[in-house]
Structure 1
Amino acid sequence: MTVAFVTGATQGIGRATAERVAADGVHVVCADIQETATTVKAIEAAGGTAEAVSLDVRSASAWEEAVSGVLERHGRIDFLANVAGVVNMVSEDTVVGLTEEGWDYVIDTDLKGPWLGMRAVIPGMIDSGGGRIVNISSLAALRGLPNLAAYSAAKGGVAALTRQAAYEYGPHNILVNAIAPGTIDTPILGDITPEMKEANAAAHIIKRLGRPEEIASMVAYLFREGSFLTGLTYPVDGGWSAKGNY
Structure 2
Amino acid sequence: MNRVKGKVALVTGGASGIGLSSAQLLAKEGANVVIADYSIEGAKKAAKDIEANGGEAVGIFLDAGKEESIKEAVEFTIKHYGKITVLFNNVGSSNLKKDLDVVNMDLEEWDRLMNLNLKSVLLGSRFAIPNMIENGGGSIINTASMAAFAGDSIRAAYGASKAGVVNLTKYIATQYGKQSIRCNAIAPGLILTPAAKNNMSQALLDTFGKYNQLPYHGEPDDIGNTVLFLASDESKFITGQTIKVEGGHYLSNPTIPDFREMTN
Q: What amino acid maps onto 1:104 in structure 2?
A: D
Aligned: 1:208 with 2:216: yes
User: Which of these two proteins has the greater Rg computed from alpha carbons?
Assistant: 2
Assess if the C-alpha contact under 8 Å between 1:90 and 1:102 holds in 2.
no
Of the three residues 130, 139, 149, the one matched with 2:156 is 149
Secondary structure of 1:47 counterpart: coil
Of the three residues 4, 9, 15, the one matched with 2:20 is 15
Q: What amino acid maps onto 1:191 in structure 2?
A: N
Aligned: 1:26 with 2:31: yes
**Could you tell me how far apart the structure 1 residues matched to 2:86 and 2:239 are?**
14
Q: What amino acid maps onto 1:216 in structure 2?
A: G
**Could you tell me how far apart the structure 2 residues matched to 1:86 and 1:199 are?**
23
Secondary structure of 2:238 counterpart: coil
TM-score for both structures, normalised by structure 2: 0.89
**Could you tell me how far apart the structure 2 residues matched to 1:91 and 1:122 are?**
34
| RMSD of aligned Cα (Å) | 1.4
Q: What amino acid maps onto 1:187 in structure 2?
A: P
Identity, % of aligned positions: 37
Q: CA deviation at 1:63?
A: 1.5
Q: CA deviation at 1:90?
A: 4.8
What does 1:108-123 correspond to in 2, within 5 Å?
108-123=115-130
**Could you tell me how far apart the structure 2 residues matched to 1:207 and 1:101 are?**
39
Aligned: 1:57 with 2:71: no
Secondary structure of 2:65 counterpart: coil
**Could you tell me how far apart the structure 1 residues matched to 2:121 and 2:99 are?**
24
TM-score for both structures, normalised by structure 1: 0.95
Question: Which residue of the partner structure matches residue 3 of structure 2?
Answer: none
1:31-75 Cα shifts (integer Å, max 9, x gaps): 011121221122112210100111111111111122112212222
Aligned: 1:177 with 2:184: yes
1:208-240 Cα shifts (integer Å, max 9, x gaps): 221000000001001111111000101011012
Q: What amino acid maps onto 1:97 in structure 2?
A: N
**Could you tell me how far apart the structure 2 residues matched to 1:21 and 1:164 are?**
26
Aligned: 1:82 with 2:89: yes
**Could you tell me how far apart the structure 1 residues matched to 2:155 and 2:211 are?**
16
Aligned: 1:229 with 2:235: no
Aligned: 1:3 with 2:11: no
**Could you tell me how far apart the structure 2 residues matched to 1:214 and 1:169 are?**
28
Q: CA deviation at 1:191?
A: 2.1
Secondary structure of 1:52 counterpart: strand
Q: CA deviation at 1:89?
A: 4.3
**Could you tell me how far apart the structure 1 residues matched to 2:186 and 2:113 are?**
18
Structure 1 residue runs of 4 or more that deviate by more than 6 Å after TM superposition: none
Secondary structure of 2:185 counterpart: strand
Question: Which residue of the partner structure matches residue 261 of structure 2?
Answer: none
TM-aligned CA distance change 1:187 to 1:31, over 3 Å? same
Question: Which residue of the partner structure matches residue 93 of structure 1?
Answer: 100
Unaligned runs of 5+ in 1: none
TM-aligned CA distance change 1:87 to 1:201, over 3 Å? farther
Aligned length: 246
Unaligned runs of 5+ in 2: 1-5, 256-264
Q: What amino acid maps onto 2:12 in structure 1?
A: T
